[in-house]
Amino acid sequence: MRQLRAEGFFVRGVDLKHPEFSETEAHEFIVGDLRDPVLCRSVLDGRFDEVYQLAADMGGAGYIFTAEHDADVMHNSAKINLNIADTCQRQGVGRVFYSSSACIYPAYNQEDPKNPNCAEASVYPAAPDSDYGWEKLFSERLYLAYHRNYQLNCRIARYHNIFGPEGTWTGGREKAPAAICRKVSESKDGQIEIWGDGEQTRTFLYIDECIEGTLTLTRSEHTGPFNIGSEEMVSINQLADLVMDIAGKKLTKRHVPGPLGVRGRSSDNRLIRHTLRWAPGRPLREGLEKTYRWIEAQVQRQARCGERQGVGGDDPQTTAPQVREAIPRQRNVQVATLPDPAATS
């Protein structure tokens, strides 16, 4: 929202709750449930220039690979996308961006941690390794069907592990970079826990480059889907070593059972580089340094408060006068549909 506002657009945000870590940058912020079609119609009450559909029921491996969450993950996210796609089509929005996920790629192409295949064309025969991935793939097809049948002007990106400050860092839904930053910062006994053998590989994209890629795709004439992710692949052990080096700590990695996902995953950027003349290029360490500093500050603040809140700064519910429950009529403006704060990064 910060970037959209800087470009001079009027921005409306929607989420289940107020921003958790800072004041909202939106001109209007609506607290509401996008699973409700009436709410969707009320917030998309005109011919908006752009809609960014980032909302989902999701989290890191500890959440999406826990079977007890599967029904909620599929039901909640699918309902949101059914509502947004249909409302955008009926309201004639300019463009709608949908954030899909690298989790849609077949598990059978990601068994070798050093040579995963995540090219966009490799998605079929479909075999995601989680119900979260199946819902994302369904919703890709949903938006593409609306594009074919109703000329909905959509853009689709497959995000690869987005991270950064002000993302979830505790509570069970955090992703690997945030979890490891927290563990390193909190360690008092000279060790941290790593799920599995730590040799599973991933790529991680800092939020600033994610925003850059998202806007580049949205303003292009190409529907996608396109990967938006880094090609700097590291093992989880290497990720932990990098965070420890940033923190100036030498800790022992203690390997414990835990949900792992596929053995290897890396963003294949050949298509987006060729088509949009864009691909991320900043080093992983650069984003991790900023993220670790932010998480370390949250850990220290939590220690001072004596309780685990995971909230930084002032209470946005009392310090953000631009947060509104009412929804005044607007025309020819932008709307940013935000994810549950538990799912950011």
Q: Is 132 a catalytic residue?
A: yes
Which DSSP state fits 177? H
Whether 18 and 33 have beta carbons less than 8 Å apart is answered as: no
3-state secondary structure of 205: strand
Number of C-beta neighbours around residue 173 at 10 A: 24
Position 130, amino acid: S
What's the N-to-C CA distance of the chain in angstroms? 14
- The residue written with tokens 């631009």 in the block is 322
Residue given tokens 């799920």 in the structure block: 195
Q: Is the CB of residue 140 less than 8 Å from the CB of residue 98?
A: yes
Query: 176-186 and 236-247 helices cross at what angle (nearest 10)?
Result: 40
Q: Which residues pair with 158 in a beta bridge?
A: 100, 227
Q: What phi-psi label fits residue 337: left (phi over 0), alpha (psi between -120 and 50 degrees) or beta?
A: beta
CA 28 from chain centre, in angstroms, equals 22
Closest to 329 measured CA to CA, from 44, 1, 4, 30? 44
Residue from 105, 132, 146, 159 carrying the catalytic annotation: 132
Pairing of strands 11-15, 28-31: parallel
What positions carry a catalytic annotation?
A: 132
